[in-house]
């Protein structure tokens, strides 16, 4: 379905920054997230969807968080409201994901 929408002009990076990619990550739909990143491009997805990792952490999607970090998301990036995914990773007990991103 997502591919069909994109093929017909849907923009996967619609504002606000919690568009389809963040929605897929927040709901643990890793296959959809991978499809979007392959269609749009990793750098553009990361630039236009800064809340994806944060949203995935809040909703407890560990597998998705691991994948997002492997794609280049920085858990220590401060977002608009001065929050970061690292807080939720730590709170969820996922400190192993933070060890490679020590600041």
User: What DSSP string describes 22-89?
Assistant: HHHHHTT-HHHHHHHHHHH-HHHHHHH-TTHHHHHHHTT-HHHHHHHHHTT--TT---TTS--HHHHH
Instruction: Place 3 in a pLDDT band, splitting at 50, 70 and 90.
Output: confident
pLDDT for 89-102, tens place per residue?
Answer: 999 999 888 876 65
pLDDT band at 43 (very low <50, low <70, confident <90, very high): very high
pTM value?
Answer: 0.81
Residue pair 63/28 in contact by the 8 Å Cβ criterion? yes
Domains, the chain, with CATH or none: 2-101 (1.25.40.20)
């Amino acid at each position: 379905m997502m591919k069909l929408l994109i093929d017909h002009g849907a923009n996967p990076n619609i504002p606000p920054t919690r568009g389809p990619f963040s929605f897929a990550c927040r709901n643990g739909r890793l296959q959809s997230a991978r499809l979007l990143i392959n269609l749009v491009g990793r750098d553009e997805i990361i630039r236009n969807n800064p809340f994806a990792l944060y949203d995935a952490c809040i909703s407890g999607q560990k597998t998705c968080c691991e994948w997002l970090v492997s794609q280049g998301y920085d858990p220590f990036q401060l977002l608009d409201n001065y929050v970061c995914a690292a807080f939720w990773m730590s709170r969820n007990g996922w400190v192993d994901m933070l060890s490679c991103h020590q600041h």
